[in-house]
Amino acid sequence: MSETLSFSLVEIFESLQGEGRNFGRPCVFVRFAGCNLSCSWCDTDCKEKFRSSLPDLVAEISSFKARSVVLTGGEPTIVEGMPELVASLKEAGFWIAVETNGVKDASWLSFVDYVACSPKVEYAHLYDSPMSLKAADEVRVVASSPASADFCRSIREKIAATDYYVSPCDRDGKMDFATAKSVISELGNWSLSVQFHKILGFR
């Protein structure tokens, strides 16, 4: 089975984690193609650029210096072959983080080291599903509107996490800090997470 796995990818690169609790950690970022949502403000390219077999993907990830890997997208939980990839990366000694929108839970998530969930207010109803994610290490909500505070409260009831963050919405390269600050002030128990990689100029 693992010999026939073929992953649909956008990019693989090494950088520092730019947001959340692991800010500054050197990581290999693996961006998978495809997403199960279509957020209006999405600035992520989710179209397939190349494909890779499991052994080739693990070899490419291992060719970088960083011993931490972030599996991101797009949406990793809709990617086939993730249990095999996670097992191979663990065997190779990697610390593994996953970034997900949380609409879909996946059993293999319990084998990774860190789950960062970024639920989307535009798809609030999907987080009522029994199939959605129920636990993560960190939850990050983009403050796309002042109504995001209500969404944050409801998400905190649905997804158990250690840290809860609000991020400013980035529209056309401009971060909306004012809305993020007002949402955080209203909540009182969430923190600010900024996409520092955009401000500091790394990927």
Binding site for ligand SF4 (CB under 6 A): 35, 37-39, 42, 44, 46, 73-75, 101, 120
35 vs 175 by CB, closer to ligand SF4? 35
Residue 195 and residue 118 in contact, taking contact as beta carbons nearer than 8 Å: no
Residue 183 and residue 149 in contact, taking contact as beta carbons nearer than 8 Å: yes
10 vs 96 by CB, closer to ligand SF4? 10
Site of tokens 């947001």: 19
Q: How far is the CB of 173 from ligand SF4 (least distance, A)?
A: 16
Ranges of H-type helices in 119-191: 148-158, 177-187
Between the two ends of the chain, the Cα-to-Cα distance in Å is 34
Q: What are phi and psi of 116, to 5 degrees?
A: -105, 120
19 vs 58 by CB, closer to ligand SF4? 19
1 vs 131 by CB, closer to ligand SF4? 131
Q: How far is the CB of 34 from ligand SF4 (least distance, A)?
A: 9
44 vs 129 by CB, closer to ligand SF4? 44
Residue 74 and residue 35 in contact, taking contact as beta carbons nearer than 8 Å: yes
User: CA angle at residue 76 from 73 to 77, to 5 degrees?
Assistant: 145
Neighbours of 170 (CB within 10 A): 16
Tokens of 25: 């950690």
β-sheet bridge partners, residue 139? 117, 164
5 vs 35 by CB, closer to ligand SF4? 35
